């Protein structure tokens, strides 16, 4: 099923709540969903027998400087089609409902996005850092991230061993 048809079905189900379809000349098409309706949209995409998106292959957080995005790459193992869902988030307060109740794989994907970008997934069963230590300050994949100078008294930088300008 192509993305336009998926979009129409989603719009028929959710009503005109501000869904947007993007079909750029290069790259993948995507459907932007308002954050408040994300879980409804996901539930529908998974349960509808013609769509049957049973496989959440990836969740990515993206920092675009003026906003953040949480991007969901879905696939149907039964129908062999895919779709990209997007949620635009306020950079100062990035929050969105977790889709863990819909697909279990979101558990770790969302933990990673939380860890590295600071996106909070509401209703997640265990939203703790996955890569960085629990007491690490900041989210490294944010564009304005500044690494802390020390971690438990250990410097996070060292002098350049070959004597370059920057450490």
Partner 1 sequence: MLEPKAQPADGVLRINMGPQHPATHGVISFMVETDGEIMRKATPDVGFLHRGVEKMAEITSYPGFMPYTDRVDYLASMFANHGYAMAVERLLALEVPRKAQYLRVIADELNRIASHLVATGTMAMDLGAFTPFTHWIRERESINDFMELICGARLTYNYLRVGGVCADWPVGLTEKILLWLDHFEPIIDEFNRLITGNEIFINRLANVAVIPGAMAVDWALSGPNLRASGVPFDLRRCQPYSVYPELQFDLAVGTGSRGTVGDCYDRFWVRIVEMRESCRMLRQLLAGIPEGDFKAKVGRTIKVPAGEVYSAVESARGEIGYYLVADGTDRPVRVKIRTGSFTAVALVEPISRGLMLADLVAVIGSLDIVAPEIDR
* Positions that interact with partner 1 (CB under 8 A): 24-28, 30, 54-58, 60-64, 71, 73, 77, 80, 82, 84, 103-105, 107-109, 112, 116, 129-134, 140-141
- From the CB of 110, what's the least distance to partner 1, in Å? 11
Q: Are 89 and 71 in contact (CB under 8 A)?
A: no
DSSP 48-113: -TTT---EEEEEEEEE-SS-EEEEEEEE-TTT--EEEEEEEE-TTS-EEE--TTT-TTHHHHHHHH
- From the CB of 8, what's the least distance to partner 1, in Å? 22
Task: Select 35 or 132, whichever has its Cβ closest to partner 1.
Answer: 132
Task: Select 29 or 34, whichever has its Cβ closest to partner 1.
Answer: 29
Task: Select 12 or 128, whichever has its Cβ closest to partner 1.
Answer: 128
Task: Select 20 or 64, whichever has its Cβ closest to partner 1.
Answer: 64
**Locate tokens 């490294």: which residue?**
140
- From the CB of 12, what's the least distance to partner 1, in Å? 26
**Angle (nearest 5°) at CA 110 between 109 and 112:** 70
- From the CB of 35, what's the least distance to partner 1, in Å? 19
Task: Select 19 or 84, whichever has its Cβ closest to partner 1.
Answer: 84
Q: How far is CA 8 from CA 37, 48, 53, in A?
A: 16, 13, 16
Q: Give burial (CB, 10 Å; 0-12/13-18/19+) of 59.
A: buried
- From the CB of 167, what's the least distance to partner 1, in Å? 16
């Amino acid at each position: 099923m192509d993305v336009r048809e998926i979009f129409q079905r989603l719009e028929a189900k959710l009503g005109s709540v501000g869904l947007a379809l993007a079909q750029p000349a290069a790259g993948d098409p995507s459907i932007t969903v308002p954050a408040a309706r994300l879980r409804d949209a996901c539930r529908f995409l998974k349960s509808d027998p013609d769509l049957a998106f049973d496989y959440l292959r990836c969740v990515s957080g993206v920092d675009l400087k003026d906003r953040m995005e949480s991007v969901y790459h879905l696939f149907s193992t039964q129908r062999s089609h895919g779709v990209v869902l997007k949620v635009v988030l306020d950079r100062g307060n990035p929050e969105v409902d977790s889709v863990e109740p819909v697909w279990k794989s979101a558990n770790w994907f969302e933990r990673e996005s939380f860890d590295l970008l600071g996106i909070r997934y509401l209703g997640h069963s265990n939203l703790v850092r996955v890569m960085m230590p629990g007491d690490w300050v900041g989210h490294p994949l944010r564009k304005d991230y500044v690494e802390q100078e020390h971690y438990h008294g250990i410097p996070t930088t060292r002098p350049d061993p070959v004597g370059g300008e920057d450490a």
